[in-house]
Chains A and B, each alone.
Chain A
Amino acid sequence: MNRQPPVLQVEGLTKHFPVSGHKVVHAVDDVSFSVSRGKTLGLVGESGCGKSSCARTIIRIYEPTAGRILLDGEEISTLNQKQLLPYRKKMQMIFQDPYASLNARMTVHDIIAEPLRAHRVCSSRQEENEMVSDMLARVGLNKEHANRYAHEFSGGQRQRVGIARALILKPELVICDEPISALDVSIQAQVVNMLRHFQEELALTYLFIAHDLSMVRYVSDDVGVMYLGQLVEKCEADEIYRHPLHPYTVGLLSSIPVPNPRMAKAREKSGLEGDLPSPIDPPAGCRFHTRCPYATEQCRQEMPQLKEASSGHFVACHRIFNR
């Protein structure tokens, strides 16, 4: 049916960081997923679960330890940085911290024009100016802002500059690495709406990374939940909120503060107990068993595989399949 390859396909992606004492941090362990054109995959999980490492490995800031990354059906995980250059035009990234991700010594114009210059898109200064001011207008800023420095902007405005920089090359895949986590609530909605608007307009494909399950739902078609470097549940976005299967997903969902005082006070929440274990020495068996209220001997010994529980709903949990 669908002959076009997915824009992004990740197979068995693994990223280990060596640390002192010949140990390794298991940042990403055997993660596979794919995102088709115009769709959004949300990746959620607590900080330290490897979602950002996953993003950075896909965009090849980090070298993958194992696994394949296919962009538009073409393998990019084995290319060197020079060979990668044409593919960089197709995939861009939006960063988390709107303060750290913009160079404080550059004007907004130079920041947005950097991708154009790196790929020699514009033949003249005038063409560059036109493209930059057009992009600025589309993110709700104007020409007057172009010659200012990033530190003069508010957090939301900076993040929009970051979006403009990522989108000016009209990429196919945009990796959003927690683009809203550092913003105020009122501004988060602005940015999310803007991202959705651009997706419709430019048929963008997003890999949207967040620790905030509530916002992810608004942007994602599919949601993947990561825990300690592994994908533990993956399904259609609405499904995961209606029928979460993995106990970790259930815990995460019930941790979201409820913006309704009557419900918040009435509800007895389960929530998640304890902290994320160290990714240097992840627990054997199911990595979640140390915090799982249903953990059995099997969970402690045997690592569960990601399997389809119902149509399109994948989960890695012994409990689901033993019932």
Chain B
Amino acid sequence: MTEHTKWERVSGNEEEAERIYRKSRSFLGDVWFRFRHKPTALCGFILVLILLVFCLAGPFFTPYTYSEQNNKMASIPPLLTVYPGPEEGSYLYITQGMKLIEVDNEGNLVRQLKKKKDDNAQKRTSFVWDDDTLVYLDYSRLPNTVLDKEGNRIEVSQKKWNHTYLLGTDQLGRDILTRLMYGTRISLMVAFIAALVNMVIGIAYGGISGYLGGRTDTIMMRIVDIISTIPLTLYVILIKMCLDDGLLSIIIALSSVYWVDMARVVRGEMLSLKNQEFVLAARTIGSSTKTILLNHLIPNAMGPILVTVTMLIPSAIFMEAFMSFIGIGIAPPMASLGTMCNDATETLRTNPYQLFLPALVICVIMFAFNFVGDGLRDALDPKLKK
């Protein structure tokens, strides 16, 4: 800018005066921005992604199936207590059934040793190691242990991670990791489908009720009230009892109940939105009811709807787990987190990990979805925080 042009008149530029400098960002873009700037929400979202990868891609990487049983390897924990074996680099693991399993240096389970003779007087059992070597299991006093070559008790044990079954096996000798993958897959699938069905029913029911208002609204909401006076758990159990075992019936049971909350949320939103000026504007324009519902009301109610859905997923998962736990859920041998917990209760004292692991996964899922839901609520409605 020279001295000369400095005072050059720049005539009032309408274009410039109306310019919008802000980057155009859609509503969803804005939500995503706020969402990813909230650590807990992002953390929950990443957890959900990890869970999805775990249950969808995981099964391709394990050599086992959810139903494959190996009675010889039943109830092997992920962390093994091993004693040195007769050969260098070999170890022995004592199972709960008083069998010996050879474990190699890396923690792989090599084989189960063949039992030769049980000596009740000396309280020891002999096992065939190879053609000319025997190993002895001593159960004269606790803890049970293995005898060395001189016949002395080996008191010093070692800990080794189970390399064959990373998270151990259940009492039927099925790989827990693999079953967790399938279990998570089933649980999530049930939850997602149930949430989706609930959302559709809830939006339709609440939307109609709220938009029409008046007498229709009163009647429809009384029906909802009646449904919600019945304890949902009982109701789901009853529905489930009437139907066959299996995935479909569980989904039907869950979907037919939880839409009540959704319908209430949607109706509340409709009631407050339908008197907003933009909806009145649509009515004066002459837009059809369908347009008003689909273009104006539902998109604007989407925030609370999404939050309700994400909060619904954990409760559906919990409900499914609960039903499987009390034995009316997924039919064996299919795995679900609930059935796994159920199976584990029988041997809870001896094998706590069998209950702990599926329970942990349930916890992680609940945490993840609750975090996501919470983050979504804040991201969708930034005013709420103030």
Contacts and interface: CB of A to CB of B under 8 A. Distances in A.
A149 B281 contact: no
Interface string B282-304: 11111110010001100110100
Contacts of B286: 84-85, 88-89, 115, 118-119
B295 A106 contact: yes
B242 interface: no
B27 A118 contact: no
Interface string B345-376: 00000000000000000000000000000000
Contact of A95 (B14, B280, B296, B302): B280
B278 A101 contact: yes
Contacts of A117: 287, 291
A100 interface: yes
B24 A61 contact: no
A28 B347 CA distance: 77
Contacts of B295: 103, 106, 110, 114
Interface string B311-342: 00000000000000000000000000000000
Nearest to B23: A152
B22 interface: yes
B130 interface: no
Interface residues of A, number: 38
B285 A114 contact: yes
Nearest to A154: B20
A118 B285 contact: yes
Contacts of B296: 103
Interface SS of chain B: helix
A149 B282 contact: no
B288 A118 contact: yes
A72 interface: no
Interface in A96-114: 96-97, 100-106, 110, 114
Nearest to A101: B277
Interface stretch (A138-146, A200-208, A231-239): A138-146
A95 B281 contact: yes
Nearest to B276: A100
B24 A149 contact: yes
Given A118-B287, A148-B20, A101 B27 contact: no
B277 A152 contact: no
Contacts of B277: 95-97, 100-101
A61 B296 CA distance: 17
B155 interface: no
A115 B285 contact: yes
Contacts of A142: 15, 18
B26 interface: yes
Given A96-B277, A101-B277, A103-B278, A61 B283 contact: yes
Contacts of B299: 103, 105-106
A110 B282 CA distance: 12
Interface string B248-282: 00000000000000000000000000001110111
A157 B27 CA distance: 19
A201 B385 CA distance: 48
B271 to A, nearest CB: 16
A40 interface: no
A149 B300 CA distance: 14
Given A106-B295, A114-B282, A152 B24 contact: yes
A147 interface: yes
A152 B281 contact: no
Nearest to B26: A149
A92 interface: yes
A114 B280 CA distance: 13
A221 B13 CA distance: 33
A35 to B, nearest CB: 17
B94 to A, nearest CB: 65
Nearest to B282: A114
Contacts of A92: 284-285
Given A103-B296, A114-B287, A140 B18 contact: yes
B117 to A, nearest CB: 79
B285 A152 contact: no
A165 interface: yes
A105 B20 contact: no
A157 B18 contact: yes
Nearest to B14: A140
Given A100-B276, A102-B278, A140-B14, A152 B22 contact: yes
Contact of B284 (A61, A141, A157): A61
B284 A59 contact: yes
A281 to B, nearest CB: 24
Contacts of B27: 104-105, 149
Contacts of B280: 56, 61, 93, 95, 101
A241 interface: no
A153 interface: yes
13 contacts: A95-B280, A95-B281, A96-B277, A101-B278, A104-B27, A114-B282, A142-B18, A148-B20, A148-B24, A152-B24, A152-B25, A162-B281, A165-B281
Interface of B: 14-15, 18, 20, 22, 24-27, 276-278, 280-288, 291, 295-296, 299-300, 302
